[in-house]
Every structure is written in structure tokens, then in C-alpha cells.
Structure 1
Amino acid sequence: MNRTTSVPDTCSTTEAAQRLGMAVRSVQLMVDRGELQAWKTPGGHRRILRASLDAWLAGRAGTAPAAPALGTPSGGARPLTLLLIEDSVHFQNLISLVVKRELPGAELHVASDGIAGLAMAGRLEPDLLLIDILLPGIDGAALITSLRSHPQFARSRLIVITALDEAQRAPYAFALTGVPLVHKTALVAELPALLAQATASLADQSA
């Protein structure tokens, strides 16, 4: 007599995100926190148990609103605020697309040079700064060092964006130590994870 093994009903993170009305990264963080049950396929893709998704939705129904997308304010809090200091319009657009996809509830401001960026940083006190190390009007390394050392930006998180290779970055090592960095050729692949790490760090800080 042949016996068949029952396979749990699962869905992808994309399907779960659509059902929950969240960003895919928000669902991934829910899995990491144990709020949803899932495992990874040999190819590295998460598969979420529909039963755990149903249970999470049932637990929220009538008791609390659905969890907001990353960057969405709760109550009267301001939204997650990002400031991008980048002189290339092409990369401004590319980074903006990545941010909107990964942090749909966030507020992104853009400055095209270091002087304007420094002024906007002082006015906005952003949660997250994305800075190109080569900027017109100001030394990017000096800007980064200044922002890291100023008490006003003690809670802000930095991500450096650059087209320089490792050897070309050597003169700026003093400013880059301990700062997450992404090369412009790898923005689409690597920036989402850096954004998630930064937002998780900010959430831990606020907890």
C-alpha cells in the first residue's frame, strides 16, 4: 500500500506581502522575529506556512490594525525620514526606486551637493543618511566624519554610496570605518539589506 506524505500549504514572501498589504521586507522581518512560520528552499527562497499567515491575520482581526509597512508612522509619530546626498540624477532615481520599494511608508529627501545636504540634514535630522563620498561643494569624507561626530545626528544611521573601488577608497578609510558601504554597481542587489539593517537598528534603539 502506497503512503503519501502530506505537504504543508505554503506561499512565497511576495504572496504573503500582497495578502498582508506590506512590503516584502516587512514579511521577511516577521519571519525572522518568529511571527510567521517559514523555511528556506535549497535555492534560498522563503516558503511561509499559510496556516501561520491565517493565524496571524486572525489574531489581528478585531484587535488591532494590520502592521504598517516599513517606514509608516504609528500614531502621531513622523514617518521614517531618509536624506540622500548624491549629485548624479541617475543614481538619485535608482536609489529612490529602491527606497520606495523597500520602505514604502518612508519619506525620502534628496540633495544634489554637500552644502545643500548638510543644511537639509540639520533641518530634517533624518533617521537615515545615504551619502556619496564624492560630492561637489564639500569633501564627502569630511561631511561623513562631521555627521558621525555631531550630537545632533547621534541617532541617525549612515550608509555610504560610492563608485570608488577598495584601493581608491583608501584615503577615506578614516571616515568609513564601521560605516555600511555599497558600491554603485551593486545598489539594487545590496542596498535593500542595508536599509533593512538600518531600520531594524533604529527600531531597537526606539524600543
Structure 2
Amino acid sequence: MAVRSVQLMVDRGELQAWKTPGGHRRILRSSLDAWLAGRGGAAMAPAAPATAAASGNRPLTLLLIEDSVHFQNLISLVVKRELPEAELHVASDGIAGLAMAGRLEPDVLLIDILLPGIDGAALITSLRSHPQFARSRLIVITALDEAQRAPYAFALAGVPLVHKTALVTDLPPLLAQATAALAELPA
């Protein structure tokens, strides 16, 4: 099938998709399976992921909640370099990010503490305390220095944190730690 045909199917609502920060469409497998079933075709067998999530039956899923397009792009590059088979989803604000987190149940959450429309500390605290996200690993991304982070200490206690000026050097080991911790969780 031609790329343009698939784009039109998404635009008409025949397939459900989301767009990457680079503008590429990502079709939901469940949407494609439903479309195939409606045409009398067989649903696709799940692909064997190269980077398995803790459950072992889907690719590692990451959700980035960050309002700066610059940092969205930078973090996307780091994630693609470190975890090339992982699925990275991006939300530009806390409300959309919360909705996506509930839908995706990501393995790793990368969250900026300063977000438009929602208190980042409250978001982090809620995600940490909700049983639905007990398996999710959390990494906080911030431009705040230590003194500026003091009011958020209750939300940041025990959470890996990377300063935006050190993303390229400090994020890769945190991603490795998060994926290692996921691998140790019982299925």
C-alpha cells in the first residue's frame, strides 16, 4: 500500500494514528487489526520486539512529557540512539501527558517538572502513588537548579533526575538503569 493511501486512511478516520515530533504517522496495531478484520483479512501476529518490555510481549514504551520542542527533539535523539527498538511517545503538556500515560501505561516516563496546565510535582506524585503505574520507571527532566528544586523535594525524593544541560551525558545511564530495573520485575 502506498504511504499516501495510508495517510488518507488516517485522515478519514479509518485508521487511528499519532504523529511523532518529526511529523511521521504511527499507526496503532489495534486499529490496523480492526481494519483488516473489517475487510475479511486476518489480524497481524504481534511482532517480536527487539527491546522487550518487562512483560516481554511488546516493545519498550517510553512517554516523554515535555513542553519544549527543542528538548523533545534532543531527548528523542538520545532515546533513539540508546534504545533504537523502543517506542517513544511525546506529550507537550501535562494534561495530554496524563491522558497518554493512562492509555499507554509506559514502561518509562520522562517528565519535565515545569509543565503548562498542570503542577509537575503533583503529576509526578500522583503517578508514583497510583497502582496502575507501579511498574513504570520515572525519570525527571528539569532546567531548575538545586535551590529552585527545593519546593519540589517531596515529589522528587528517590526519583532519578537529569538536568537539561546534561541530557546527552546523564540520560543514557538513567535509561539503562530504568530498563535494567524493568527486566528484573516479575512478569
TM over 0.5, shorter chain: yes
Runs of 5+ in structure 2 lacking a partner? Answer: none
Write the deviation string for residues 42-68 of structure 1: whole angstroms up to 9, x where unpaired.
Answer: 999999999999999999999x99997
SS of residue matched to 2:185:
helix
The CA distance in 2 between the partners of 1:129 and 1:101, in whole Å, is 17
User: Does 1:70 pair with 2:17?
Assistant: no
Distance change (3 Å), C-alpha of 1:104 and 1:195: same
Report the structure number with the largest CA radius of gyration: 1
Shift of 1:136: 0.2
Offset at 1:206? 3.4
Count of aligned pairs between the two proteins? 184
Q: How far apart, CA to CA, are the structure 2 residues paired with 1:112 and 1:42?
A: 10
Give the conservation status (yes or no) of the 8 Å contact 2:62–2:89: yes
Write the deviation string for residues 20-48 of structure 1: whole angstroms up to 9, x where unpaired. Answer: xx999999999999999999999999999
User: Are residues 205 and 24 of structure 1, via their aligned partners in 2, closer, same or farther at CA, if it must alter by over 3 Å?
Assistant: farther
* Residues 158 and 167 of structure 1, relative CA distance in 2, 3 Å threshold: same
In 1, Cα distance between equivalents of 2:180 and 2:54:
15
- Identity of aligned pairs, percent? 91
Structure 1 stretches of 4+ with a deviation exceeding 6 A read 22-62, 64-68, 72-75
Deviations 1:126-177 (CA, angstroms, capped at 9, x unpaired): 0000000000000000000000000100110000000000000000000000
Q: 1:26 to 1:163 in 2, by over 3 A?
A: farther
- Distance, in Å, in 1 between the alignment partners of 2:103 and 2:65 is 14
Alpha carbons 2:21, 2:72 under 8 Å: kept? no
- Kept after mapping to 1: 8 A contact 2:50/2:59: no
Report if aligned partners of 2:49, 2:59 keep a CA contact under 8 Å in 1.
Answer: no
**Distance verdict in 2 for CA 1:25–1:164, change over 3 Å:** farther
Q: Tell me: CA distance 1:116–1:43, structure 2 relative to 1, closer, same or farther (3 Å).
A: closer
Distance in 2 (alpha carbons) for counterparts of 1:167 and 1:137: 23
Q: Which runs of 5+ in 1 are unaligned?
A: 1-21
* Residue 26 to residue 119, structure 1, CA distance change in 2 (3 Å): same
Is this contact kept in 2: 1:84–1:129, CA < 8 A?
Answer: yes
Partners of 1:87 and 1:112 within 8 A in 2: yes
TM-score (norm 1): 0.65
Matched position secondary structure for 2:95: helix
Per-residue CA deviation, residues 176-197 of structure 1 (Å, 9 max, x unaligned), is 0000000000000010000000
Are the aligned partners of 2:54 and 2:183 in contact in 1 as well (CA < 8 Å)? no
